[in-house]
Each structure stands twice: as C-alpha cells, then as structure tokens.
Structure 1
Amino acid sequence: MEHIARQSMNVCPFVSSMSASALKQLSKNSSLASKAGGCPVMGPALEHVRQYSTPSSPAQAQATEPFVAPKVEIPVSAGSNEVSFDYDGLYQNDLAKKRQDKSYRFFNNINRLAKEFPQAHRELEEDKVTVWCSNDYLGMGKNEQVLNTMKETMTKYGAGAGGTRNIAGHNRHAIRLESEVAALHKKEGALVFSSCFVANDAVLTLLGQKLKDLVIFSDELNHASMIVGIRNSRSRKHIFKHNDLKDLEEKLAMYPKSTPKLIAFESVYSMCGSVAPIEKICDLADKYGALTFLDEVHAVGMYGPHGAGVAEHMDFKSHLASGIASPAHETVMDRVDMITGTLGKSFGTVGGYVAASSNMIDWIRSFAPGFIFTTSLPPAVMAGTSTSIRIVRSNIEDRVNQQLNVRYVKNAMAGLGIPVMPNPSHIVPLLVGNAADAKKASDMLLEKHNIYVQAINFPTVAVGQERLRITPSPHHGQGISDSLVEAVDEVFTTLNLKRVPEWEAQGGHCGVGEPTPVTFENLWTDEYLKLTNNDMNPNILDPVIESLATSTGVTA
C-alpha cells in the first residue's frame, strides 16, 4: 500500500502538489470529493456511481426534517440485467434425462382386493390382475382378525391420532404395540414411528448428533433411509463392500477401540435377496467397540420361528423351544444393539419401529426430532398391527408355505434358463440388465398376461442391473405359480432377453452365469420346513405382555 501511495505522489499532479495535512483536512470537511470531480480519471468514475448514495454512520447522522420517499413504480428488473431462475426449466430438464435413460417411472393403477388376495383390479374393477411383487409378504393386509380390530378401534376412537404424542397425548394402542414389538425381538424397549424410513433416519441422525466423533460403517447396498440418516448425522462414514467382513474389519481397524463406532447393515437386502452374516458382524463389533444397527425390514414376519427376523433365525431351535421367553443363553438377537423394522410389509399395515435397550429407547424418545415432531399413527392402525404381530408370531405355517412357494418358483425358473439372481431368501430377482427391456417385460406381463411385476431400475439398483422382482407369498400356490413361469418364459422369448447361457457367454453378471457359481444354503432348511403350528411353544398363544415404561416415560 505504501508503494502505491508513493507512486501516486509522483504521478498525480493534484496529490503531488498537496501536503499530507492538506489532504487530511480536505477529507474531514468533505471537499475531497469535489476536488476529485475535476480529475480526468476520478471524475468520470464518480459520475458513474453518482446514482448510489451512502448513508451516514449513526454516530455522525444529523437530525433533519423527516424524509418522505417519493412513490416510484420500479420494474422488477430495475437496476439489474439478470432474470429469474428458470425453475420449471430445471424440472423439465431432469425429467427429460430420466425419460432419455429409461429410468422414468410409471405407476400402475393397482387396487389390491382384500377378499381375493393376491388379486387386484386396475382402473376398471373387472380388469383383474395377479400381484407378484407386493411387500405384503404374508397377505396380512387382508386378514379378517386384523380388519375387524381396525374397524372396531376406528369406530370407538376415530380416524386419526390428533397429533404428536407430545401434543395430542399418549394412548393405550401405542403402549400395547410397542410392548408387542419389544416382546417380538426380546428387547427391553421399542418405539414406533410413522414409517421405518423415518425410524432409520431419525435414529441414525440422532446418534451422529449426540455421539461426538462417531464413525459409521455402512454396507454399500444399504437402503436409502439409512443412507439419508447417515448423511444427516454428519458423522464420518466408511462404506464397506457388500457383506465383506474383511473389508469391514480393515476399516474398523483404522480407529482406536475408544472411538465411538456404529455398523449399519440389513438382514435381507430386498433387491438382490442376499443375507448379512449377522453373527460375524457382531463379533467384529465386539472386537472393535462398535454399536450394531440392524434393519430387519424385509425379514420380520418371515424368518425365525416367530417372525422376529434373521437375527432370531440364527438361533432357530433355541427360540422355538423358549417361545415368547428368552433362551437361557445369549443369542445373536441379544447381541444386536438396535433392530429396526416395518409394520407395512409382513404385518400388513403401516409404520416402523426401533427395538433396543430401555435406556436407548427412552433416549431416542426424548431427543429424536423425527419422533417428537411427527404425528402418531392412528389408533386403528396401531391396534390392528398389535393383532397382526400376535397372529404372525404364532403362525409358523405361513412362513413355511411362503418358503415352499418361493422354492417352487425359483426351481421352475431355473429349469427354463431364466436368470434368477442366486440368494438364500424369499426374493426372486430376474436379471434383465437394462431399463428399457425391464419396462417392456413388465408392461407385457401386465397387458398380455394380467400379471403385475414392477420393473426395478436406477436409483433403486445400479444401471445395468435392472431386474424384475418377484415375491411369492403363502397364497401364491402352484397353479398361479405355473401361470407366472409360463408367462415369464414367453416374455423372455418375445423380447429376446438374455437367459443364463447368454450371461455365461459374457462372463456372468450379478451372480448369474458366473464362472464359479456361488451357492447358498437356504435359511429355511428342509428340517424347518416340516414344522407346523403344533410344534410351537404354547406360551406364544395369547400371551400376557407387560406394558413398557419407556412408551410413556420412565419415572425417575
């Protein structure tokens, strides 16, 4: 700055002719600006900015007559050459891209018929189709006992909850439902949310906000709800390769055991049907001092002798023998710190939950905005869901029949070379490999064969891994299964879609046609598939379950 001042003293005739004290005096009595107006350089510059004014600082402002601003009509663009942002153009642009890459989604008008499940009708009631992709995995959405409970509760208590629990109050239906959920997973407490998306987001966000320096380790195929929750937590994260214990351990080992950590993963991954090695992940959690967060959304109702999920399934015989009570030894389900699940799939209603220790549940209840500020589920939904959980817990035959139907469909597809992505679960994913063909296949099944199977594309699955996703239920018997297989076979032929030999020729893809095929042992073994409801412990029939203190608030 001094260098510039010295140069100006030499170059500018006005400055060079004035002493420093004279310049200061001009500055004080506001004459400097008028003098500068005569400068060939500063003059034009001052003319350019003359339209703008600078207010006096409050300390120097003088009291004058009140100023009344003249009424001037100012056009929107006055003083600016800019135009408003093209919001609609953004929408059109993004939608055009989705249409171009064939990932634009069309929602089919499918109206499930409670008395005719798995039948549904389209826009016209006489236009009926068979639904093969519903997540109402056990058909509990049409169960008469559940429907009757909901009708009676709605008649007595009304359609809605009236607001959040903090504002509208607590109710017996929430208390009972959370008690049923906790008992199902054999945990000390449970908390019900409006959906499992909300539950996952709320819990993971809270953990990141409250646990300083938390590091989250997330499976690369985790559901969007977990991804959003981890992002909102603002915690440091590491994404480990899907079900890869070696990769997970390498990442865990980067931190001292004292650093707070959390491993987030699912039991059954809904788009490919793979199953997590829960017990081994718990071993790593113990070794490196991490919490475990297990999403059982696509497993509750269908795995374990009582439908508590894959974690229960890992100690199948022990839980079968103990019934609603906990086995005498520590189980895999005991070792998992947090279990989240949904009420909107196998239980046939709507909502989500987290089950954990009583302290953790009370902590989440007290601090999670996603719970505190969300309207409660309607009383009829909560009452109906409690009834559904009780029915599902005691009905192992539904789980068995579902698995038998899944096996039948998978084996029939394999016999025709139709590319079923291999897995040990109830998911039947048929590999197509591009979005356009997946959409064509779905449309043809619907329009020509009256079979509804939704195409799955990006961002639900990666580009190039598009598929049809089939989910047999206990109600998809051999007759309609044969119709499905025949229709899929015809669609693959008509559209010239790749079958297993074509994928083999290309070196394999998504587990189909791989040089070294990966084989899976079904979670439901032949031994388990012989079980009936008579093999269940009688203590699961209409058990008395104590209300949870954490549902209302623990008295200090």
Structure 2
Amino acid sequence: MDKLSSLTRFKAACPYLHRTKSSTLRTLCTSASPRFPSLSVLTEKATNCPVMGPALTTRSKQIVAGYASVAGNADVEQIHKQKGVFPPPGATVEMCPHASAARAAARTAEELAAAAAKKKAAQHAGRATSSKEAAAAGCPFHKAAASTASTSAQAIPDHTGFNYEQFFVTELDKKHKDKSYRYFNNINRLAEKFPVAHTHSVKEEVEVWCANDYLGMGNNPVVLETMHRTLDKYGHGAGGTRNIAGNGAMHLGLERELAALHRKPAALVFSSCYVANDATLSTLGTKLPGCVIFSDRMNHASMIQGMRHSTAKRVIFEHNDLVDLENKLKQYPKETPKIIAFESVYSMCGSIGPIKEICDLAEQYGALTFLDEVHAVGLYGPRGAGVAEHLDYEAHRAAGRSVEPIKGSVMDRVDIITGTLGKAYGAVGGYIAGSDDFVDMIRSYAPGFIFTTSLPPVVVAGASASVAYQTEYVGDRQLKQVNVREVKRRFAEIDIPVVPGPSHIVPVLVGDAALAKAASDKLLSEHNIYVQSINYPTVAVGEERLRITVTPRHTLEQMDKLIRAVDQTFTELGINRLEDWKAVGGRASVGLPGQVPVEPIWTDEQLGFADGTTPKTLRNGARPVVDMQAVEVSRSRFNHLLGPKTGPISSKREQNETEKLLEATRILEAALVNGGLNLKTGAAHYNAIDSVPMPTPVTVAAAA
C-alpha cells in the first residue's frame, strides 16, 4: 500500500482511491501517522475501510505470528457480525472464500516450514563433509573451516526466526557441489612489465593471459602522464553525483570524445557498462508504452538484468538467427514500440553479430537497435569505434577525424551504441551514444545515472586520453590481431580445441568444470601462466573453457611458453583434443561435422600484409611502440585544462633507467678524477690512490 505505483492499479476497485488525486495519495503514502509513527497516514485511514480494516487486523496477526497464519474462527465470526454478514446455519470458516484462501496459504506455509526444519537438520549433519569438499577444491576461505567442520554445525545457535547464516551456507554448498563456485586469484598487474603480474607474493611473477586490458592501455605512458597531471590539479574524488558537484569539464570532454568516436550527436558516461546497459534498457523498457524487447539468447547479464528491471515484455531469439528474429518480429504490429538488443562481439565464444542485417529488420518492422560494443570498441575499425565502424572500414578511414555521421553506413544506422572504458581503453566506466534527445532522456530518468557518485576526474582523464590515442593510432589493433592469428594457428597445429570465431577471442574448450579449474590451477602453479577458467553460469554446463586473451604486448617467447604449457596440461589431465570432439560429433561449435573454416573480420589488407606495414610481434626485452603523433593528439585534448605539454614521453621504467645511467656516469667520473685522471686533458696525476672501486655496470634495455 505504501507504493503509489501499486495504488494506481486499484483505483478502479476502490472509490476512495478513485476520487483522490495522485499528488494527495503520494503525500499520504510518504507521511507518517501522528498517532502511529511506524504507519503512513494512508495506512491509518485504511483501518476505517470496511474491506481493508479487517484485512489489516488479520495481517497484523500474521506478522506477530512470524509466518502466514490467519485469523481464528472466533475472529472471523466477529468480523462477520460487525459488518452485518450472517452465514447460513452450519457454515464454517472454511466456507468463507476469503478465510479459506488464507487458511490454505497458511497450511502451505506450515508444510514448507516443517520441510525446511527437516532439511536444516540434514544440512547440519552434512555440513562437515561439504566444508571438507570445499577445502579439497582449493577454496582458501573454507580451508580453515575444514578442520573444525565437525563442531561448526553444532556452534550454530538455535533461532526462533529465520536462520540466515545457514541459508548462506546452503547456497554456497550448492555452488561447490555443481562446480560453479568462483575462485578469485590474487593477481597484481605490474605497470612496467605488462602483461606480467605478481601474485600474493611480490616476488612471484606470472604472465597474464586473460585480462580484458586488451591493448595494454592501462599502462600507456601518455595515459599515465595525463592521470598524474589531473591528479595534481583536481585531486582524487569527483565530489558527488553528476548533478551535484560531480559534473566537471573532464566528464563533458570524455562524452564529446565518445560521441565523436561513434559519429553520434551525444554520449553519456556511467560508472560501468553493466550499469549503462541495465539503466538504459530498464528505462526504455518502462517508459516506452507496451514495449517489447527482442534479446539475443547469448546477451550479457547486464542487458538481461536491464530487461528484467523494466516492465517490457522480453522475447528471446536464437543466437545470431535472423530467421528466428524476423518470425518473432512479425507477431507484433509495426506501431508497437520494439527494441532489438544484441552484441557485436560475444565474449565467451568469439562470434560476431550480424549488425547490418539486424538493422535491415529493425527498419522493416519499426524497431530500435541497441548494440553492445563492449568487446569491440578500441579493437575494430580504423579509429577503434567497433565492429559497426569496421564493416565500412575504408569509408571511415577516409573520413578521418570528422565527427559527422557517414549517411547509410552501418554505424550510422544503429540507434543506440553502448561501450566500455574498462577493456581496450584500460580504464573503468561505461557509456551510451545516440541522438541528443535519447541521451537527454536517459540522463533525466535513469536511476543508475542519477543516483550514483560520478567517476573521479583522474579516471575520466585517463580514459579520455586513451580513447584519443587509440582513435589516432591503429598499430595496437593490428598487432593484437596478428598475435591472435599466431596463437590460434599454433594451437591448431597441436590439436588444441579452439571455439572457431572471426574475432580476437580465443576460447579453448575443456568441456568439464572440474577439469577447467584443474587446468587453470596447473598452468598457474607449475608454469606461472594465469588463465582463468570459465564455468557455468557464464557458459553452459559441458561447455567450460579457458578464455585466452592475446595482447599486442605479448612477446614471441611468451607465446612459445603458453603453447608448450597448454599442450602439456592437456596431456597430463587427459583433456579432449579437437579430434576427440570430432569423434563424438562435436560440442560448442568445436569439431562439428562439415564445419566451414571461419574467416577473421580483419583482412590481410587491413592488417598491412599487402603493403608490408604490418606491426612486428615483440621479443623479450623490446619496448612496445608509442606513436608520437597519437601522443600529441591525446595531449592536445587537455591543453585548456592542464596546460600544454610537449617533448618526448617515456615510461617510469625508462625514466628510472635513465637516472641509473646518469648516476653511474657521475660515479665513474668521480672515480676517475680521484684516481688521478684529468678528464679535460686525459693526463694522469702521479698522486693517484692505489685502488678505486668501480660502479656496478647497469644494463639499460631502453637503449637497445
């Protein structure tokens, strides 16, 4: 009763609600009763209602009882007498339609309570075993509990109410038993050694092959330089929500950058793309009258949650199945508001959505297109705007830095684009891009945007510098694709089952949750290679995998090590190879009969193979390329806020090495002077000391 949205549904049935203004109802709902502060004024008024009064009395007894009990026989008879209702002779409470329904609910509640008590006793007895299983599975949190598991169940106190802790334990046990419990490794990526990280021990280093920092922009020197300058000038926090002290020039600049990237009129930044998808779809689905959202079966959880949080009807079509989508679109009039929600790159299988064809269907049946480019922005297209841009590669390359839309291009036809700043751009945050009015409506109505603290200026500046850099420089995107091709080729040579796809995703099929976890653990503990296993519910049961992320910063030597380690791990654990999957008819698009090879979306010409401009894979010790033209473009975005910045750019590692070299030179000069050598003439002094300690040689990789 305390929600206005609920009250409006009953206006037709209740004369009081029908004749009372919505504004008055809102006040009554939100104002506490002077006599009963725990109740609203509207609830107090309801006690005088001939219908709601008895209902509230009964409900109060249910609350006191602690479960769904109902009024006793005498109570029901008294209510009947007070309201002038006289049942026929022999009538019982069970014959009252209202009381009988409530009593049926009570009996169900009592049966459930009895079943829960019985289950609770069984769970207490089996808790020790579950804890031991968890410890054996490698869960550090439960290892300590395993030794005292036999007594921990007895330590749980008896409750007169709901046993919350036991509920938590039961839910965790479910995860352990179906092998879907998630383990979180302590991995600390090193800014000067990417893609190397250290574990819980700073001395134990591992090579990371599963991070979503696809291009290593989290460590790009111009990004770090910009963040340092921003931190010094604007501090750490944003200071509030976007409409209360948290809307700064950095935020507005990033939104202009993103709108220009997608050649759209406007963009809006969120704290993450999960929030962007959830907030946008829930707002659209609720505001559009009678809206129907058509969702690809493999859409990300953020999109699914957004649809669930809306009042729209959700219709699921099979993954990338245009025939199924059209058949379902046909069932609704063209004037019915519709949204087709899908992705460009599906991150767990590597498939690519048919963007152009879905735009065709959307225009034919009167639907909006909602395209998630999370795993594509920064990685596809001449400027990194995603797959929609990549489909018209030459047209967008020719347009250069123009922010004007290319009419008729696939990217121009997409109504709503969402993306992330936390993957290829190496930062954090998400965004939407589209028309001015669409973006303004989401800004005005979406709770996920309105009621959250704004991203810190230092983070926003780093993201903006990253986007500007990648818009200008294509080399990182090209080298990533070159390295992906090489890893896939070498896996194919040793029969490792990679789920085929045209994108940068390298999913290695394992097909069993326990084996996938064991393979991940073995790679980490024995080979210092970190690849996270992917299990249900992220992928279907039986399609568990290792999702390998190849970056432009991985070296040839690191690739050699990865291939050998995966080969050895598959052999030692007996994991199916490609031929094994073919023998059983295939699974998860691996080893299917008559399978046609998948062509990569990046062509040889786009990667520079035709004209010899292909970037070269790094070797150990080599420095990654930092494009100075892209650096200057990125720096120029901040001239008005941070002041102009010119000159060479270097990483902290290079600065440290330069300082070490200068210090070594100073020590050598001092030693030679003290030893009697005139550095100007080269003449020796005869009063030289007997021995001079020489400085330790310094190896400077940057000079190689």
Could you tell me the TM-score, scaled by structure 1's length?
A: 0.82
Give the direction of change, closer, same or farther, for the CA distance of 1:149–1:533 in structure 2 (3 Å limit).
farther
Give the direction of change, closer, same or farther, for the CA distance of 1:273–1:166 in structure 2 (3 Å limit).
same
Q: Secondary structure at the match of 2:546?
A: strand
Q: Give 1:495's match in structure 2, choosing from 573, 579, 585.
A: 573
Give the direction of change, closer, same or farther, for the CA distance of 1:184–1:540 in structure 2 (3 Å limit).
farther
Q: Secondary structure at the match of 2:243?
A: helix
User: Is residue 246–residue 454 contact of structure 2 (8 Å, CA) maintained in 1?
Assistant: no
Give the direction of change, closer, same or farther, for the CA distance of 1:289–1:302 in structure 2 (3 Å limit).
same
User: Is residue 421–residue 427 contact of structure 2 (8 Å, CA) maintained in 1?
Assistant: yes
Q: Determine the structure 2 residue equivalent to 1:470.
A: 548
User: Is residue 479–residue 614 contact of structure 2 (8 Å, CA) maintained in 1?
Assistant: no
User: Is residue 499–residue 588 contact of structure 2 (8 Å, CA) maintained in 1?
Assistant: yes
Q: Determine the structure 2 residue equivalent to 1:11.
A: none
Equivalences for residues 332-371 of structure 1 within 5 A: 332-371=410-449
Verify: 1:542 aligned to 2:620, yes or no. no
Q: Secondary structure at the match of 1:85?
A: coil
Q: Alpha-carbon deviation of 1:163? A: 1.1
Q: Determine the structure 2 residue equivalent to 1:507.
A: 585
Q: Distance in 1 between matches of 2:630 and 2:224?
A: 25
For structure 2, the residue ranges without an aligned partner over 5 or more in a row are 1-71, 83-112, 115-158, 616-626, 639-704
User: Is residue 383–residue 397 contact of structure 2 (8 Å, CA) maintained in 1?
Assistant: yes
Q: Give 1:150's match in structure 2, choosing from 207, 210, 227.
A: 227
Q: Give 2:238's match in structure 1, choosing from 155, 161, 165.
A: 161
Verify: 1:197 aligned to 2:255, yes or no. no
Amino acid aligned to 1:480: Q
Verify: 1:257 aligned to 2:348, yes or no. no
Q: Give 2:191's match in structure 1, choosing from 114, 117, 123.
A: 114
Q: Alpha-carbon deviation of 1:354? A: 0.1
User: Is residue 343–residue 352 contact of structure 1 (8 Å, CA) maintained in 2?
Assistant: yes
User: Is residue 457–residue 467 contact of structure 1 (8 Å, CA) maintained in 2?
Assistant: yes
User: Is residue 247–residue 454 contact of structure 2 (8 Å, CA) maintained in 1?
Assistant: no
User: Is residue 406–residue 412 contact of structure 2 (8 Å, CA) maintained in 1?
Assistant: no
User: Is residue 323–residue 539 contact of structure 1 (8 Å, CA) maintained in 2?
Assistant: no
User: Is residue 197–residue 225 contact of structure 1 (8 Å, CA) maintained in 2?
Assistant: yes
Q: Determine the structure 2 residue equivalent to 1:219.
A: 296
Q: Distance in 1 between matches of 2:242 and 2:396?
A: 34
Q: Alpha-carbon deviation of 1:88? A: 1.3
Q: Determine the structure 1 residue equivalent to 2:645.
A: none
Amino acid aligned to 1:258: E
Q: Distance in 1 between matches of 2:405 and 2:242?
A: 34
Q: Secondary structure at the match of 1:115?
A: coil
User: Is residue 183–residue 545 contact of structure 1 (8 Å, CA) maintained in 2?
Assistant: no
Q: Determine the structure 2 residue equivalent to 1:31.
A: none
Matched pairs, number: 474
Equivalences for residues 13-28 of structure 1 within 5 A: none
Q: Distance in 2 between matches of 1:319 and 1:269?
A: 23
Give the direction of change, closer, same or farther, for the CA distance of 1:328–1:281 in structure 2 (3 Å limit).
closer
Give the direction of change, closer, same or farther, for the CA distance of 1:327–1:93 in structure 2 (3 Å limit).
closer
Q: Distance in 2 between matches of 1:346 and 1:322?
A: 23
Could you tell me the TM-score, scaled by structure 2's length?
A: 0.65
Q: Distance in 1 between matches of 2:464 and 2:395?
A: 24
Q: Alpha-carbon deviation of 1:518? A: 3.5
Q: Alpha-carbon deviation of 1:280? A: 0.3
Q: Distance in 2 between matches of 1:121 and 1:545?
A: 34
User: Is residue 323–residue 540 contact of structure 1 (8 Å, CA) maintained in 2?
Assistant: no
Q: Determine the structure 2 residue equivalent to 1:419.
A: 497
Q: Determine the structure 1 residue equivalent to 2:211.
A: 134
| Structure of higher RCO (CA pairs closer than 8 Å, 6+ residues apart) | 1
User: Is residue 469–residue 630 contact of structure 2 (8 Å, CA) maintained in 1?
Assistant: no
Q: Give 2:531's match in structure 1, choosing from 453, 458, 464.
A: 453
Give the direction of change, closer, same or farther, for the CA distance of 1:164–1:533 in structure 2 (3 Å limit).
farther
Q: Alpha-carbon deviation of 1:540? A: 11
Q: List per-residue Cα deviations over 1:97-124 (Å, max 9, x = no partner).
A: 1111111111000000010000000011
Amino acid aligned to 1:108: N
Decide which moves more: 209-218 or 167-176.
Answer: 167-176
Q: Distance in 1 between matches of 2:614 and 2:340?
A: 36
Q: Secondary structure at the match of 1:177?
A: helix
Q: Distance in 1 between matches of 2:423 and 2:485?
A: 20
Q: Distance in 2 between matches of 1:412 and 1:478?
A: 12
User: Is residue 394–residue 541 contact of structure 1 (8 Å, CA) maintained in 2?
Assistant: no
Q: Alpha-carbon deviation of 1:521? A: 1.6
- Give me the identity figure in percent: 58
User: Is residue 303–residue 313 contact of structure 1 (8 Å, CA) maintained in 2?
Assistant: yes
Q: Determine the structure 2 residue equivalent to 1:29.
A: none
Give the direction of change, closer, same or farther, for the CA distance of 1:330–1:440 in structure 2 (3 Å limit).
same
Verify: 1:307 aligned to 2:398, yes or no. no
Q: Determine the structure 2 residue equivalent to 1:522.
A: 600
Give the direction of change, closer, same or farther, for the CA distance of 1:246–1:128 in structure 2 (3 Å limit).
same
CA-based RMSD: 2.5
Q: Give 2:250's match in structure 1, choosing from 173, 197, 203.
A: 173
